Structure 1
């Protein structure tokens, strides 16, 4: 699968710096809430390019969105896994839509409700024409779980491009984090729709945030 030019394709430090700056400028712009949808008929009409953030419950999706935009309260953060129950859309500078997705794989959510969330989520992933990439978040402390592997299979089958980002990188020692990043790169190479570049991020320290902004800026409307 072909991917837009990003950090992995940067030929030198000047090109890399230009990508980082483009990401900084985009994410410094206004971000505003657009819509929240529990069912497909509540989705906003397709238009701007979209980037969706997916991962297990409590992996840090909302925290990462807040860190990317520099707005602490943009996405609601909850300490209770399974609290986010909607696809939540944010407009970034009228150039890109950021989508906070319900977490998957949380066993304590009632089975019928969990299946409804996942049905809507996967239907959105399969059928959204404006979706340019999914950022698949993996907790650096625990690595890949069966629910993550199932999500990657769905994305592969739907030919939806996705990029793995490790979260909570500040919670593990550097050697452990590097081993996890290399493991994630190996996993990515085994999936047809996965981007080869894996980023390690921390919403607390800002690690990896500039790089992820740069990657996503390459998908935004010019």
Structure 2
């Protein structure tokens, strides 16, 4: 039996992530209500975050398809759950889910309540949901909406992993380090939080292989 070093194990994870997203990724469903969701089949990983956190850009970077998720400069533009199949055919191995953003000032209270209700119902009742990647902007402090999202995930008993975005714009370097330390402290206090915080930049490609590897672990049943 061959025993791999930690470096070799990590290289295998990175390669598994690369191979997973060498497959086609396609949009296949959108839902604005819980009763309009597609049938639960493949394992799902969802992306959640404040409006304008760079969620669509990150999904596009992970998928290697820059026109997959719609990028908008209008916060709160995504008002539904968007589903993307990784792999060809009806029996694809994984589904990516783009969740509506939160923290958008332009939306009415009624719309915000509807979106929060949809998010919670999806999180609580989706048997194929394996993990939520909670996106946090590396350049700014944690907002009340971020804490509310973590509370929501905890109440729904859904595992989540924090992903810092836009790390290339978090300057000076000490700002990024402080943000990473803040996130590490947060996950230590959250039962549902994955212990590893990922740092990414869609523009520079930073951390994308690591995020793909984490998703590949989930697709493989890890």
TM-score by length of 2: 0.93
Structure 2 gap ranges (5+): none
The alignment yields a C-alpha RMSD, in angstroms, of 1.2
CA distance in 2: counterparts of 1:63 and 1:107, whole angstroms? 21
Could you tell me which residue of structure 2 aligns to residue 126 of structure 1?
124
Q: CA 1:11/1:43 → structure 2, altered by over 3 Å: closer, same or farther? A: farther
Q: What CA distance in whole angstroms lies between the structure 1 residues aligned with 2:112 and 2:96?
A: 23
2:101 counterpart of 1:103: yes
Task: Return the offset for 1:153.
Answer: 1.1
Q: 1:119 to 1:11 in 2, by over 3 A?
A: farther
Give distance in 1, aligned partners of 2:156 and 2:63.
Answer: 29
Partners of 1:160 and 1:192 lie apart in 2 by 10
Q: CA deviation at 1:11?
A: 5.6
Instruction: Give the distance between the partners of 2:181 and 2:5, measured in 1 at CA.
Output: 22
Aligned length: 213
In 2, distance between residues paired with 1:111 and 1:147?
Answer: 14
* Corresponding position of 1:179: 178
- Is 2:30 the partner of 1:32? no
Q: Indicate conservation of the 8 Å contact 2:120/2:156, yes or no.
A: no
Higher mean C-alpha deviation, range 111-120 or range 68-77: 111-120
Are the aligned partners of 1:96 and 1:221 in contact in 2 as well (CA < 8 Å)?
no
1:136-215 paired onto structure 2 within 5 Å: 136-173=134-171, 174-215=173-214
Q: Distance in 1 between matches of 2:125 and 2:202?
A: 30
**Could you tell me how far apart the structure 2 residues matched to 1:112 and 1:156 are?**
23
Measure the CA separation in 2 of the matches of 1:120 and 1:12.
Answer: 41
- Structure 1: runs of 5+ lacking an equivalent: 1-9
